[in-house]
A and B are shown apart, each in its own frame.
Chain A
Amino acid sequence: MEILTRRLLAVVLLAYAPAARAATVITLVPNGLVDVRTGKGDWRPVGEAETVTAGQTVRTHRNATAELRFSDGSRIQLQSYAIFAIDKTDRQETGFSLKMGKLKAAFAGLLSSKISIHTPTAVCAVRGTVFELGVENKNTEVTMAEGVLEVKDDKGHQAVVTSEETMKVGVDGMEKPRMLRLNDNRALPAVRPYAVHQEMARAATRTMLEDVRNRELKANEAQLGKNVVDAFGRRVRLEEYVLRPDANSFELLFLNSRQGSFNWGHYLETFAAPIPNDLSQIPAIVASGIMAPNQPSNWLKSIEFYATNTLDAEKELFSYGDPVQINFAGFGKGVLWYPSSIVETQTLYGPGVPNGQRVQFQQLTDYNQSNPGLFTWIQYVQAGSPAADNLQPMFAAVMDPAQTDPTNALSPAKGGNVFLLNLPVYNNTNTTFSFPNGPSKTDLLASTTYADGSTLSVEKFLLDDAGKILSLNPSGGGVFSQSGSYNLEFKIDSSLFQGRSIDVLLAPSIIQQTGQAASTPDKL
């Protein structure tokens, strides 16, 4: 690799630097009577174009002009009655002298490191310039066309002269450069290439500032908005909003727009008392009512998860009773505050659902209400016909949270006492779990067939923004415990939805960081 790099570098350097840089070649092209001499030698006339070198001087006579053409493209035009000497042409410095007369010069600026023209009263250092220079009676007049020129006088003063400026340098020093009048025949057109390049560079800086500012744009951050791809390769525009329906609750609203479809839903938490404006305290309030050592001052009353395709909908509602003290010795805990009841209700809505809506599944949990001193669970499911609403009890369980004797049927270690309330319904209600994209992918399909023949399935995906299904977290901690920039998608199907699906996509952290919400989709 190193050898390759060296070779590449060598090739590049060779390309940029030919064997030797050619010396400056100056061609003198006479037009009329033009003389040249070397050093202090005699003048000789120049009949046709010839090469001149350092140490030579060029002289033009009446009605004659001469042009000096340089190998880098620079040109100097000598007017009549001019005497012009080529003093030096090495790489570091190219020097000329205008002893009398006028010239017009256009320098590319590449002849050598420094290029200068001396007059009896001034030294002009060229930067890359088109200008006129004249010497008359030891007075020098410089008129810039385009570019920049540095002029020094004998008194040690210097001035930088730019486009369309003119100045005089006499034996007493230099005058202040001034702009040419617009009607001066040396003035340039208002719009010309060099000036436009300059103007565009200046304007680009200002426009760039607007571009930079524009980058700061972002949707109001109360919404978590982004544009992603779902598990089925469709583009989804996602927005989320937090709302405060009343002082005791807050609501998270999420909206998905796909081509030709719109799905949305919400997540609503309601509390027993007003919640603070600073909603970052909410997780602590929730925790204070569930297995908490101290009596809570505020607690969660309900959680509602709702998803719809605008025709069909599915709702999960968790309702919590007021916290009571319960002895959790059977769980190795002490006396803690816990909701006196938890009611989970799953409701389906839509034109294909009997009566437009019906409860598909319900689970009632209470402490000390159905059975003194005990937890009681009862599950209800649909068990009539798919066209009717016939919710029937299926299963019940009773448990004593204080029971520490593992031989006792009511103890947590035994799982409590289980009662099948309706065996045919129990046998005909089946839930299966599968991984449609393989066991290593976060694509979990839970399908339930109810005793009445109706079905409900929820497929849950963890995706990146490009719609790629993620792998299961290898470090464990649950199937959907990924963290980071991922999205969670639910595709909900039911035999009661007449062939339509509900397909909602959320920012992942909403579910993964909220225990109650995380349990919701698993139970769908």
Chain B
Amino acid sequence: MNRHRRFVVAACAWALLAAARASAQLAGTQQPTWHLQGDIDLMAGQYFYNGEAGSVNGYANADVQLLRSISNESGFYLDGHAAYTGFKQVDELAGGGTLFQQSLDAALEAKWVQRYEDGYSLKPRAAVRQDYFRETTDESWGKGLYDFRRYEGGVLLEHKTRLGVEIPWTWQLSYDLYYTHYPNYTSLVNQFGTEQTAPNPGSKILDTVSNQLAYRSEFELPDFRSLWVLYSISFISFTDQKVVQSQGQFLGTNRTDDYQSLNLGASQRFDDWSVLGQVRPVAALNVTFADLISNQNDFDADPSRLKFVGAYYDYWEARVGPELNLRFLSTGATARVGADFAARYYTGRLAQNADGSYQGSKLRQYSEGVFLETAYPVWRGIELKARATFDNTSSNTSFEQSYVYNYHDWNYYAGAGWKF
């Protein structure tokens, strides 16, 4: 397996370099240049979950890009990312709050940029990402149930044009393919298939192939305003998750989901404030509408309830995120404060009482969060950084046997960052 992985990486690198050489020969004019850029953060922080403090632990993040421009027409870049979070976090990885103690993720992407006259560009890409999660502190890395690896490939068509004389307009049309593989998540029934014969929910039931189509437009407006809109639709096929029917039996049909999202963003830079040595404020607002439609249902296996719920995963949600960025011109320090409000309405999933009995109403989930982050430059690209967040999630369901729907958490972390 490792040998296979090394071969894939080597093949990708060889293909990129070969393409770069060929393109340079065709262009023939410009000397290819390398450029390295990135930022690295090292921090320590603490997490509080429902008032319970976790231990102080570390957080590290590194993003590095290696750019190689071959000519005005073409070039490529490699993007490497790695992050380690040593303190607890709630990650809605699995359809409800799932608490992870520690996480580690790494990703590598290669993107080619091919430009044409009149503002057109074509940008194919390939990437691989690996995420590790530890649910308990004694769990070994690589053994996490929800560890996953994702292979990505895509192509993007971009056109930089104008809306009349006044407004620059860049639109992008993209197609991306994601294959997400959970190596450790295999249904037990299939692991012990010789012992059990009856149910067949599938084996690798979390693995998916996702086809994402997206369209994005962005506009630079006069008076320091900008606006963008993104529409995305994903068609997701679960490669080995069978649909459950009303009697709790599994059909031969695999689960499929459709997920679409409309994101709107706007920002406005205001006149500087003559306080604290001059402060430059930029306000931003993000609004998202999304919905998910799935053919998967739910069968509550508890014998005292034994409830079939159709369209269990279907929901729509709205999310609003105002934000204010401040730049202290005299010192170069920055501060960012923002909030996030979201409401999710499940169209099939029923709310439950604490004992698991079903209510007549559909499940609704609300979340509110605020964050504050700041950076203070100390020397060249090195900054002192601090960040704090608070989130509260509530719902009309009290049953939290499998997943947590009602909780609040906050965390803080501080440390140093280096931009280069």
A residues near B (Cβ < 8 Å) are 13, 15-18, 20-22, 72, 91-92, 110, 112-114, 127, 148, 150, 157-162, 165, 174-177, 179, 181-183, 187-193, 196, 199-200, 202, 205-207, 209-210, 212-227, 229, 233, 235, 237, 239-245, 250-253, 255-257, 262, 264, 267, 269, 277-280, 282-283, 310, 466, 483-485, 507-510, 513-514, 517
When the two chains form the complex, which single residue of B71, B135, B222 contacts A190, counting CB atoms closer than 8 Å?
Answer: B71
| Residue numbers in A under 8 Å from B195 (CB-CB) | 262, 264, 310
- Do A189 and B71 have beta carbons less than 8 Å apart? yes
Q: What are the 8 tightest A-B residue pairs by CB atom distance, in nearest-first order?
A: A191-B75, A279-B306, A189-B69, A17-B276, A113-B272, A221-B298, A513-B304, A218-B95
Given contacts A21-B277, A192-B67, A210-B210, 14 further A-B contacts (CB under 8 A): A159-B165, A160-B221, A175-B165, A189-B72, A190-B69, A205-B263, A209-B234, A209-B261, A215-B94, A224-B401, A243-B248, A509-B304, A513-B302, A513-B355
How many angstroms from the CA of A485 to the CA of B195 in the assembled complex? 29
How many angstroms from the CA of A192 to the CA of B74 in the assembled complex? 11
Q: Which of B3-11, B172-180, B361-369, B408-416 contacts A (4 or more CB under 8 A)?
A: B172-180
- Do A280 and B305 have beta carbons less than 8 Å apart? yes
- Do A196 and B65 have beta carbons less than 8 Å apart? yes
Would you give the shortest CB distance from B139 to chain A, in whole angstroms? Answer: 7
How many angstroms from the CA of A177 to the CA of B114 in the assembled complex? 22
How many angstroms from the CA of A280 to the CA of B95 in the assembled complex? 23
Q: Given A191-B76, A215-B92, is A161 in contact with B224 using a C-beta cutoff of 8 Å?
A: no
| Residue numbers in A under 8 Å from B214 (CB-CB) | 206, 209
When the two chains form the complex, which single residue of A16, A174, A243 contacts B276, counting CB atoms closer than 8 Å?
Answer: A16
Q: Given A187-B72, A217-B208, is A181 in contact with B117 using a C-beta cutoff of 8 Å?
A: yes
| Residue numbers in B under 8 Å from A264 (CB-CB) | 192, 195-196
Q: Given A159-B166, A280-B307, A509-B401, is A215 in contact with B95 using a C-beta cutoff of 8 Å?
A: yes
- Do A221 and B300 have beta carbons less than 8 Å apart? yes
- Do A227 and B72 have beta carbons less than 8 Å apart? no
Q: Given A16-B276, A206-B174, is A216 in contact with B139 using a C-beta cutoff of 8 Å?
A: no
Would you give the shortest CB distance from B328 to chain A, in whole angstroms? Answer: 5
* B341 beta carbon closer than 8 Å to chain A: no
- Which A residue sits closest to B327, measured CB to CB? A110
* B2 beta carbon closer than 8 Å to chain A: no
Would you give the shortest CB distance from A32 to chain B, in whole angstroms? Answer: 29
- Do A213 and B302 have beta carbons less than 8 Å apart? no
- Do B298 and A222 have beta carbons less than 8 Å apart? yes
Q: Given A18-B277, A243-B248, is A220 in contact with B117 using a C-beta cutoff of 8 Å?
A: no
| Residue numbers in B under 8 Å from A18 (CB-CB) | 277, 330-331
- Which A residue sits closest to B258, measured CB to CB? A213
- Do A20 and B277 have beta carbons less than 8 Å apart? yes
Would you give the shortest CB distance from A106 to chain B, in whole angstroms? Answer: 17
- Do A216 and B95 have beta carbons less than 8 Å apart? yes
- Do A227 and B277 have beta carbons less than 8 Å apart? no
- Do A110 and B329 have beta carbons less than 8 Å apart? yes
- Do B188 and A193 have beta carbons less than 8 Å apart? no
How many angstroms from the CA of A244 to the CA of B242 in the assembled complex? 17
Count residues of chain B with CB under 8 A from any CB of chain A. Answer: 139
B residues near A (Cβ < 8 Å) are 29-30, 33, 35, 37, 65, 67-77, 79, 91-96, 111, 113-119, 123, 135-136, 138-139, 145, 148, 150, 152, 160, 162, 164-168, 172, 174, 176, 178, 180, 185, 187-189, 191-192, 195-196, 198-199, 201-202, 205-206, 208, 210, 212, 214, 216, 218, 220-224, 230, 232, 234, 236, 241-244, 246-250, 255, 257, 259, 261, 263, 269, 271-272, 274-278, 280, 290, 292, 296-309, 312-313, 327-331, 333, 335, 354-356, 358, 376, 400-402, 404
- Do B188 and A282 have beta carbons less than 8 Å apart? no
Q: Given A182-B117, A206-B232, is A217 in contact with B95 using a C-beta cutoff of 8 Å?
A: yes
- Do A227 and B135 have beta carbons less than 8 Å apart? yes
How many angstroms from the CA of A19 to the CA of B37 in the assembled complex? 34
Q: Given A179-B118, A509-B401, is A190 in contact with B75 using a C-beta cutoff of 8 Å?
A: yes
Q: Given A16-B376, A227-B145, A264-B196, is A127 in contact with B224 using a C-beta cutoff of 8 Å?
A: yes
How many angstroms from the CA of A305 to the CA of B301 in the assembled complex? 16
| Residue numbers in B under 8 Å from A278 (CB-CB) | 246, 308
Q: Given A189-B33, A206-B212, A279-B248, is A91 in contact with B187 using a C-beta cutoff of 8 Å?
A: no
- Which A residue sits closest to B156, measured CB to CB? A203
Would you give the shortest CB distance from B275 to chain A, in whole angstroms? Answer: 8
When the two chains form the complex, which single residue of B160, B244, B306 contacts A220, counting CB atoms closer than 8 Å?
Answer: B244
- Do A253 and B302 have beta carbons less than 8 Å apart? no
- Do A190 and B74 have beta carbons less than 8 Å apart? yes
- Which A residue sits closest to B328, measured CB to CB? A16
When the two chains form the complex, which single residue of A188, A213, A280 contacts B306, counting CB atoms closer than 8 Å?
Answer: A280
| Residue numbers in A under 8 Å from B280 (CB-CB) | 110, 113
